């Protein structure tokens, strides 16, 4: 008898019909003799609706209270799914994050899971019930309800699979796996049979929202067997996240293209080129708990240089506020900034052993007249910052130039 954890996303539980469909699928797995723990998201659109509702009442919602509001979305689906399972003749019990005791830190709206008490769940499983757990939520040491950040139900699923030592964590969503690019942007994108853990980590952090990055981190830390599949198809192996590179059938140079529009760019012009200047600029940004992503400093000329970096758009206004007095203090000329940018990235472990990826990408973008504003590379990725309005075009162009629509030979 195997224990599996299945997570169903918002679209998959978006209506009573779909919830019944999920119940039928679970009944099927259980009929095979497996023990099943199910994690569900709020019904499609519900979390957005709750955020908007909170903002109507308080422009900048109190994080503790916002988490209380947000956690209701998942609380509804766990009960509805348990009812649908009962209708299928499958005994099921629902649990909120606090009822399980998914212990998190106290960082409201972006809490991290610290520990999971799986005793109640085990008891129910041993008694033959399906356990249905609310995704995206937990409780801190003091008993406050917390949420795990957008897309956090993926992380609940993987964390439960780790705690219960499940055979596999299956993430059921509205696509049948991880693709070479977001299939909504590139219709020719291809499903990957496998993707390495490192690649998935990069893809998730660079904007492929099919898995929340923390869920991938958890899978890596606890070696959870993680698979992405469609909740709308009966067959299909989806995409398996692998840990050993030789487990991979396909070894393409580039596994996929990701994009995001979450960042904003800030450039300080005419900065005196002397030791300590990067620290003087980024120190106060770090002190304000603002994460910096890309950083570019030009070669100095005539004792001056330009210094650019990107931050999350949510932190953009605050970063500018912090920087103006810094600019005056270090006697820099001006600050240029903008949040109409996008970051487009190519990811693949094969890049380690292949030269020329970046230049091929830059040529392809140039041929479309897309200007590159910033570049950053690591061993297994190349990212460019471009004008937001070219995001989709850039993703398609890069997908094409690397022939990602064709299976590797
Ligand atoms: P769920 O509600 O099930 O958690 P999400 O909307 O969070 O689903 O994630 C699934 C979506 O992720 C897909 O509909 C797809 O548009 C998007 N996506 C982005 N990049 C990729 C990719 N590389 N492969 C598959 N899906 C992707
Ligand atoms: N309902 C939450 C969200 O929309 C969590 C999730 O779906 O994973 O972000
Ligand atoms: Mg999601």
**Tens digits of per-residue pLDDT, 333-384?**
999 999 999 999 999 999 998 889 999 999 999 999 999 999 999 999 999 9
DSSP 178: -
Q: How far is the CA of 83 from the centre of ligand 2 (A)?
A: 21
* Residue 45 Cβ < 6 Å to ligand 1: no
List the residue whose alpha carbon is closest to atom 9 of ligand 2: 150
Q: What is the mean pLDDT of residues 2-30?
A: 97
Cα–Cα distance between 311 and 325 in angstroms, integer? 18
Q: How far is the CA of 230 from the centre of ligand 1 (A)?
A: 10
Ligand 2 neighbours (beta carbon < 6 A): 9-10, 41-42, 47, 73, 135-136, 150-154
Taking 80 as the threshold, does the pLDDT of residue 409 lie above it? no
Tell which atom from ligand 2 comes closest to the C-alpha of 149: 9
Q: How far is the CA of 26 from the centre of ligand 1 (A)?
A: 22
What are 55-67's pLDDT values in tens digits? 999 999 999 999 9
Q: What are phi and psi of 142, to 5 degrees?
A: -85, 0
Taking 90 as the threshold, does the pLDDT of residue 186 lie above it? yes
Strand 226-230 relative to strand 256-260, pairing: unpaired
Quick one: tokens of 266?
A: 């800030």
* Residue 184 Cβ < 6 Å to ligand 1: yes
pTM: 0.94
Cα–Cα distance between 206 and 32 in angstroms, integer? 38
List the residue whose alpha carbon is closest to atom 6 of ligand 2: 151
Helix segments in 101-237, DSSP class H: 119-126, 153-163, 197-205, 213-222
pLDDT at position 250, please? Answer: 55
Cβ atoms of 104 and 92 closer than 8 Å = no
Mean of pLDDT over the chain: 95
| Range with lowest mean pLDDT among 45-49, 137-141, 247-251, 282-286 | 247-251
Comparing CA positions, the residue from 121, 94, 211 lying closest to residue 158 is: 211
Q: How far is the CA of 307 from the centre of ligand 3 (A)?
A: 35
For ligand 1, mutation pick of 195, 204, 209, 392 (most atoms within 8 Å of CB): 209
Cα atoms found within 13 Å of the Cα of residue 56, Cβ hemisphere only: 7
What residues sit around ligand 3, an ion, with C-beta below 5 angstroms? 9, 151
Cβ atoms of 172 and 8 closer than 8 Å = yes
Q: How far is the CA of 152 from the centre of ligand 3 (A)?
A: 7
- Residue 245: pLDDT band by 50, 70, 90 thresholds? low
Burial of 276 (0-12, 13-18, 19+ CB in 10 A): exposed
Cα–Cα distance between 160 and 95 in angstroms, integer? 13
Task: Give the CA dihedral 341, 347, 353, 356, nearest 10 degrees.
Answer: -30
pLDDT at position 247, please? Answer: 53
Cβ atoms of 22 and 112 closer than 8 Å = no
Comparing CA positions, the residue from 192, 195, 178, 225 lying closest to residue 2 is: 225
Residues ≥6 apart with Cβ < 8 Å to 177: 191, 192, 193, 228, 229, 230, 236, 238, 239
Taking 90 as the threshold, does the pLDDT of residue 299 lie above it? no
Residues ≥6 apart with Cβ < 8 Å to 66: 51, 54, 108, 109
Q: How far is the CA of 184 from the centre of ligand 1 (A)?
A: 9
Taking 70 as the threshold, does the pLDDT of residue 83 lie above it? yes
List the residue whose alpha carbon is closest to atom 5 of ligand 2: 151
- Three-state DSSP at 211 gives coil
């Amino acid at each position: 008898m195997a224990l599996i954890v299945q997570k169903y996303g918002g679209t998959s539980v978006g209506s009573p019909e779909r919830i019944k469909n999920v119940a039928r699928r679970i009944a099927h797995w259980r009929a095979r003799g497996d023990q099943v723990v199910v994690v569900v998201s709020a019904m499609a659109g519900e979390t957005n609706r709750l955020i908007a509702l909170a903002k109507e009442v308080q422009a900048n919602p109190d994080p503790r209270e916002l988490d209380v509001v947000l956690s209701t979305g998942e609380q509804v689906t766990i009960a509805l799914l348990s009812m649908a399972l009962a209708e299928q003749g499958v005994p099921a019990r629902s649990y909120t994050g606090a009822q399980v005791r998914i212990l998190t830190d106290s960082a409201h709206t972006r809490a991290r899971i610290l520990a999971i008490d799986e005793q109640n769940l085990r008891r129910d499983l041993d008694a033959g019930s399906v356990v249905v757990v609310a995704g995206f939520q937990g409780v801190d040491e003091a008993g406050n309800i917390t949420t795990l950040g957008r897309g956090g139900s993926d992380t609940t699923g993987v964390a439960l699979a780790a705690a219960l030592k499940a055979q596999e964590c299956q993430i059921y969503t509205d696509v049948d796996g991880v693709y070479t690019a977001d299939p909504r942007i590139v219709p020719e994108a291809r499903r990957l049979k496998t993707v390495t853990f490192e690649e998935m980590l990069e893809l998730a952090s660079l904007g492929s929202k099919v898995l929340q990055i923390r869920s991938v981190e958890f899978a890596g830390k606890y070696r959870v067997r993680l698979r992405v599949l469609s909740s709308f198809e009966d067959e299909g192996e989806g995409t398996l996240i692998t840990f050993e590179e030789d487990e991979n059938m396909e070894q393409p140079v580039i596994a996929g293209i990701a994009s995001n529009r979450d960042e904003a760019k800030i450039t300080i012009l005419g900065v005196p080129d002397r030791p300590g200047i990067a620290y003087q600029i980024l120190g106060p940004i770090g002190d304000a708990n603002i994460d910096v992503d890309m950083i570019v400093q030009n070669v100095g000329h005539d004792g001056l240089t330009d210094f650019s970096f990107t931050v999350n758009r949510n932190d953009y206004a605050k970063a500018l506020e912090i920087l103006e007095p810094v600019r005056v203090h270090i006697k820099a000329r001006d600050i240029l900034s903008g949040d109409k940018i996008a970051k487009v990235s190519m990811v693949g472990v094969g890049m380690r052993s292949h030269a020329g990826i970046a230049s091929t990408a830059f040529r392809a973008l140039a041929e479309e007249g897309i200007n590159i504003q910033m570049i950053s590379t690591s061993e297994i990725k190349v990212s460019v910052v471009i004008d937001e309005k070219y995001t989709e075009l850039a993703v398609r162009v890069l997908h094409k130039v690397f022939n990602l629509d064709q299976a590797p030979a």
